[in-house]
């Protein structure tokens, strides 16, 4: 199968970058989005608009979904019928960060219809989506992954097959779990520095390059100090991810005190109107 | 003042590397250590042994201390008399990770005697001490720092003056606070991966280079997976640091839930006999 026609459901800030890279990679891309107006610039770029998920699916060999919440994933696959309308032998890939259990449900339902399903959440944010440098973590059948690898390579750089259905989502949960606690550490250190009357920028010079170093410390701590809480990654989406991670951890009998504390702090921030801020707003919890 | 004679109190694994770099830098180094046998190889390298702290101090222009706990710092400066025996106009530098309040006490006592005191804890571990690549965070009078800068440069690479007395220790606390929560995140992610039946090495391939990335994830997570809990940095010393950080944070009215959780987990490990393991042993808390 070379150059299959791709249907892409969900043309948000992430989807847009990914679709443009697919077009750049020579793929024909069919698109659908809940709000049509937000997708029209992609038509100028060469994508083909469809008015329904079912028609978009029927016209495609590979359907990619990049929507918001697990509920949206459920809707587009089951209620709105991707699985009802996908061609036998075709492929569906959910790239939304969503629940591992739901990824398994989709896989099982798809398999029973002769459809190949992969879960393939990403990290790297809107900039990674634009530049095609995403990290993509894939679960599902290895043979399906092998066939679709060129598609992933058109959208990302660090493409890793993680195992059976749900493993991509589980891996993304590992990513978010790591970030959750680290964000507390970064914020607690900066808040401590402030209370102690230190010059926080000088403190960062001492601690960023050593054993305390992290992506968040290098990239988000400076924004915290500047009072720049614009979203790179939204609080509301991080809460969604942490909720899935925490529920899944509990189901597996795993205690995660760091994740639990971080989730609580973020939920308090969301209650205080910060759900559309970037995750670096956690700093405010400590001020 | 060029090439002052340096007295170095405490020839443990950190002190040894630092002393050798001072000798390599052309300094005459007087040494004292609680256990003489552990210091004798330094005499072969050119250091001069003294049987008491007082005699070592009297023979030196700059006294550096690198001991274990705040109690030891207190003992060598007050009880064993560095401050009683240091020459007027001389310099004392505590490079132990210790309490900011104690650093201020030493500074005040030293100042009243015409002695210049700096607090200058380090990060970078025994390997950084050997290679002379330590990060050194300095508090005290700027003029004293400026005079002693060549000495710091002989031992480290990232030399940052952080402000008045105690600021070096406060900065080190920021470093340890950042690490504490991040260690939970790393361990929780690996434990989650294990429970979910993922291949943890593959998971690291997906998450290490992105927004979840950190020094600990790159350097300690692989050791956790190999079951290698040998100390790079001892659990007992990390608990010491977290205890100081947490007490100081509380005195400043700062809540640090991440630090608190991490400290608790490490204390449980120490109670279970892991105080001499490396900090990566935190992984065991989640198994």
Verify that B109 and B181 share a domain, yes or no: no
A172 is catalytic: yes
- Assigned domain for B45 exists: yes
Buried/exposed code over B154-169 (b: 16+ C-beta within 10 A; e: otherwise): bbbebbbbbbbbbbbb
B199 vs A contacts (CB less than 8 Å): 162-163
Report the CATH number that the domain containing residue A180 is assigned in CATH.
1.10.1040.10
Verify that A184 and A147 share a domain, yes or no: no
Flag whether residue B174 sits within 8 Å of chain A, measured between CB atoms: yes
Verify that A95 and A184 share a domain, yes or no: no
Q: According to the model, what pLDDT value does residue A81 have?
A: 87
- Assigned domain for B1 exists: no
Best of B192, B193, B232 to disrupt the A interface (most A CBs within 10 Å) is B192
Verify that A24 and A135 share a domain, yes or no: yes
Verify that A23 and A146 share a domain, yes or no: yes
Verify that B97 and B236 share a domain, yes or no: no
- Assigned domain for B145 exists: yes
Contact B27, B154 (CB under 8 A): yes
Verify that B147 and B207 share a domain, yes or no: no
A255 vs B contacts (CB less than 8 Å): 286
State whether A206 and B177 contact (CB < 8 Å): no
Mean pLDDT within A60-82: 96
State whether A209 and B158 contact (CB < 8 Å): yes
Give the C-alpha separation, A167 to B205, whole Å.
14
Verify that B129 and B182 share a domain, yes or no: no
State whether B189 and A196 contact (CB < 8 Å): no
- Whose CA is closest to A130, among A155, A113, A160? A155
Buried/exposed code over A29-46 (b: 16+ C-beta within 10 A; e: otherwise): bbbbbbeeeebeebeeee
Q: According to the model, what pLDDT value does residue B80 have?
A: 77
Shortest CA gap A261–chain B (Å): 7
Angle at the Cα of B136 (from B130 to B142), degrees rounded to 5? 140
Verify that A50 and A92 share a domain, yes or no: yes
| Domain's final residue, options A138, A164, A190 | A164
Contact B175, B252 (CB under 8 A): no
Q: According to the model, what pLDDT value does residue A264 have?
A: 98
- Assigned domain for A1 exists: no
Question: What digits encode the pLDDT tens for the residues A221-265?
Answer: 999 999 999 999 999 999 999 999 999 999 999 999 999 999 999
- Alpha carbon A106 to chain centroid, angstroms: 17
Q: ipTM more than 0.95?
A: yes
Question: What digits encode the pLDDT tens for the residues A202-218?
Answer: 999 999 999 999 999 99
| Percent of chain A whose pLDDT exceeds 90 | 98
Question: What digits encode the pLDDT tens for the residues A173-198?
Answer: 999 999 999 999 999 999 999 999 99
- Whose CA is closest to B76, among B117, B124, B133? B117
- DSSP run (H or E) holding B91: strand B91-94
Q: According to the model, what pLDDT value does residue A98 have?
A: 97
DSSP B76: I
Question: What digits encode the pLDDT tens for the residues A127-178?
Answer: 999 999 999 999 999 999 999 999 999 999 999 999 999 999 999 999 999 9
- What count of other Cβ atoms lies within 10 Å of the Cβ of residue A145? 22
- Assigned domain for B61 exists: yes
- Assigned domain for A179 exists: yes
| Domain's final residue, options A119, A145, A164 | A164
Least CB–CB distance from B252: residue in A195, A248, A256: A195
Residues 219-248 of A with CB under 8 A from B: 219, 233, 245, 248
Report the CATH number that the domain containing residue B107 is assigned in CATH.
3.40.50.720
Verify that A196 and A279 share a domain, yes or no: yes
DSSP A210: S
| Domain's final residue, options B112, B138, B164 | B164
In chain A the beta strands, taken as DSSP E runs, fall at 6-9, 29-32, 48-49, 62-65, 91-94, 116-119, 122-123, 134-140, 156-163
Contact partners, residue B165, CB within 8 Å, separation at least 6: B103, B104, B106, B107, B108, B117, B118, B119, B139, B140, B141
- Assigned domain for A211 exists: yes
Contact A210, A241 (CB under 8 A): no
Domain count, chain B: 2
Verify that B38 and B145 share a domain, yes or no: yes
pLDDT per residue rounded down to tens, chain B (287 residues): 569 999 999 999 999 999 999 999 999 999 999 999 999 999 999 999 999 999 999 999 999 999 999 999 999 999 878 999 999 999 999 999 999 999 999 999 999 999 999 999 999 999 999 999 999 999 999 999 999 999 999 999 999 999 999 999 999 999 999 999 999 999 999 999 999 999 999 999 999 999 999 999 999 999 999 999 999 999 999 999 999 999 999 999 999 999 999 999 999 999 999 999 999 999 999 99
Flag whether residue B165 sits within 8 Å of chain A, measured between CB atoms: no
- Whose CA is closest to B186, among B229, B231, B223? B223
Question: What digits encode the pLDDT tens for the residues A79-125?
Answer: 878 999 999 999 999 999 999 999 999 999 999 999 999 999 999 99
Domain enclosing residue A35, as ranges = 6-164
Verify that B218 and B185 share a domain, yes or no: yes
- Assigned domain for B94 exists: yes
Flag whether residue A9 sits within 8 Å of chain B, measured between CB atoms: no
């Amino acid at each position: 199968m070379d150059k299959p026609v791709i249907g892409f459901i969900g043309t948000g800030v992430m989807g847009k970058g990914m679709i443009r890279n697919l077009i750049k990679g020579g793929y024909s891309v069919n698109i659908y989005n809940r709000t049509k107006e937000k997708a029209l610039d992609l038509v100028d770029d060469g994508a083909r608009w469809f008015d329904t998920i079912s028609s978009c699916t029927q016209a495609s060999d590979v359907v990619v979904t990049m929507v918001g919440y697990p509920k949206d994933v459920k809707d587009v696959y089951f209620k709105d019928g991707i699985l009802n309308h996908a061609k036998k032998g075709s492929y569906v890939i959910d790239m939304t960060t969503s629940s591992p259990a739901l990824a398994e449900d989709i896989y099982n339902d798809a398999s029973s219809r002769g459809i190949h399903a992969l879960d393939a959440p990403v990290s790297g944010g809107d900039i990674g989506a634009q530049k095609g440098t995403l990290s993509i973590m894939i679960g599902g059948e290895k043979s399906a992954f092998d066939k679709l690898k060129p598609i992933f390579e058109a959208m990302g750089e660090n493409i890793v097959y993680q195992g059976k259905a749900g493993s991509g989502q589980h891996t993304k949960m590992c990513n978010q779990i790591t970030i959750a606690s680290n964000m507390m550490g970064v914020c607690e250190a900066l808040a401590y520095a402030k209370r102690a009357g230190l010059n926080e920028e000088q403190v960062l010079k001492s601690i960023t390059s050593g054993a305390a170093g992290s992506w968040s410390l290098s990239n988000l701590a400076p924004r915290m100090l500047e009072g720049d809480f614009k979203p790179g990654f939204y609080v509301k989406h991080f809460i969604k991810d942490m909720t899935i991670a925490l529920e899944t951890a509990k189901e597996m009998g795993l205690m995660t005190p760091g994740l639990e504390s971080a989730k609580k702090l973020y939920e308090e921030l969301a209650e205080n109107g910060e759900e559309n801020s970037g995750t670096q707003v956690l700093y405010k919890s400590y001020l």
